[in-house]
């Protein structure tokens, strides 16, 4: 585990355990914002990286969602830095164990009650999320009910959690996603923001992500078209056999 410079303002800490798990540290004028906390063993490495940056105290933790590989280091980090922890309001009951995540048989608590705060919203703007220092949150459900991505406009980097996975700079649909169609609709945020660099938890950096999304959407359309054609052929064969 170690730190890596992404841009002048952003560093990452990652661990490989068959796949990459990555979190991000964003330098603000008066401290650091952490996005996601990885799995439990990553907590100490994240604390060490904050100290190594020597860029002021940790100010807050922003979570993309509440799955175990994104909140596992939370306790270790909060023991050292008792800072506010934010998550989308729609995600909190799943992360705290009040509701079972879609696709799961039962509810599980990933974060103890009393730690999570809902991301602040703008008054009178129908749930639009407020900017937090250099980071603008955007609601991107699909992989989970309250998934959020964070856009660093100055560096044109989208810190995207599990909006996608990536491999060798290519977009891959995120694994373990109960509503893939909704996740693809949420991915339109790439067209809206057109980031220079997309960073995901599992797979690292993707450049020109909006164009690569268009390729992925076309592949998805073709796959669905072929599936419909095969279904229609099977229907015709079944009728002919009667």
pLDDT digit string, tens, across residues 161-196: 999 999 999 999 888 899 999 999 999 999 999 999
User: What is the rounded distance in angstroms from the CA atom of residue 158 to the CA atom of residue 242?
Assistant: 55
Does residue 220 sit within a domain? Answer: no
Which region among 65-79, 137-151, 215-229 has the lowest average model confidence (pLDDT)? Answer: 215-229
- Which helix H or strand E contains 211, and what residues bound it? helix 209-240
Does residue 161 sit within a domain? Answer: yes
Does residue 79 sit within a domain? Answer: yes
CATH number where 175 lies:
3.60.15.10
Q: What is the DSSP letter of 187?
A: T
Evaluate if pTM is beyond 0.75.
yes
Q: How many domains does the chain have?
A: 1
Assess contact for 199 and 24: CB atoms under 8 A: yes
- Chain position carrying tokens 């100055």: 154
- Chain position carrying tokens 């609601």: 139
Does residue 120 sit within a domain? Answer: yes
Does residue 215 sit within a domain? Answer: no
- Which helix H or strand E contains 62, and what residues bound it? strand 58-62
The answer, yes or no, to whether residue 105 has pLDDT greater than 90, is: yes
Residue 77 sits in which domain range? 2-210
The answer, yes or no, to whether residue 2 has pLDDT greater than 80, is: no
107: exposed, middle or buried (Cβ count in 10 Å: 0-12, 13-18, 19+): middle
Q: What is the pLDDT of residues 36-65, one digit of tens each?
A: 999 999 999 999 999 999 999 999 999 999
- Nearest Cα to 12, choosing from 32, 41, 31, 40? 32
Q: What is the DSSP letter of 132?
A: B
């Amino acid at each position: 585990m170690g730190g890596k410079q992404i841009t002048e303002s952003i560093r990452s800490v990652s661990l490989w355990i068959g796949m990459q798990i990555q979190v991000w540290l964003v330098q603000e004028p008066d401290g650091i914002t952490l996005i996601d906390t990885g799995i439990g063993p990553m907590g100490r490495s994240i604390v060490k990286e904050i100290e190594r940056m020597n860029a002021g105290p940790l100010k807050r933790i922003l979570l993309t969602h509440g799955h175990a590989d994104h909140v596992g280091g939370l306790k270790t980090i909060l023991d050292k830095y008792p800072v506010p922890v934010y998550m989308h309001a729609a995600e909190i009951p799943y992360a705290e164990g009040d509701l079972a995540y879609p696709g799961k048989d039962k509810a599980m608590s990933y974060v103890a009650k009393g730690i999570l705060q809902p991301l602040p919203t703008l008054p009178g703007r129908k749930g639009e999320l407020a900017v937090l220092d250099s980071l603008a949150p955007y609601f991107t459900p699909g992989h989970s009910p309250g998934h959020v991505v964070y856009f660093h406009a100055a560096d044109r980097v989208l810190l995207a959690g599990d909006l996608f996975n990536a491999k060798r700079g290519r977009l891959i649909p995120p694994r373990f996603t109960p509503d893939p169609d909704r996740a693809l609709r949420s991915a339109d945020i790439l067209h809206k923001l057109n980031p220079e660099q997309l960073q995901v938890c599992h797979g690292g950096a993707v450049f020109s992500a909006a164009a690569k999304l268009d390729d992925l959407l076309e592949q998805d359309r073709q796959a669905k078209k072929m599936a419909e054609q095969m279904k229609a052929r099977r229907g015709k064969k079944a009728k002919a056999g009667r």
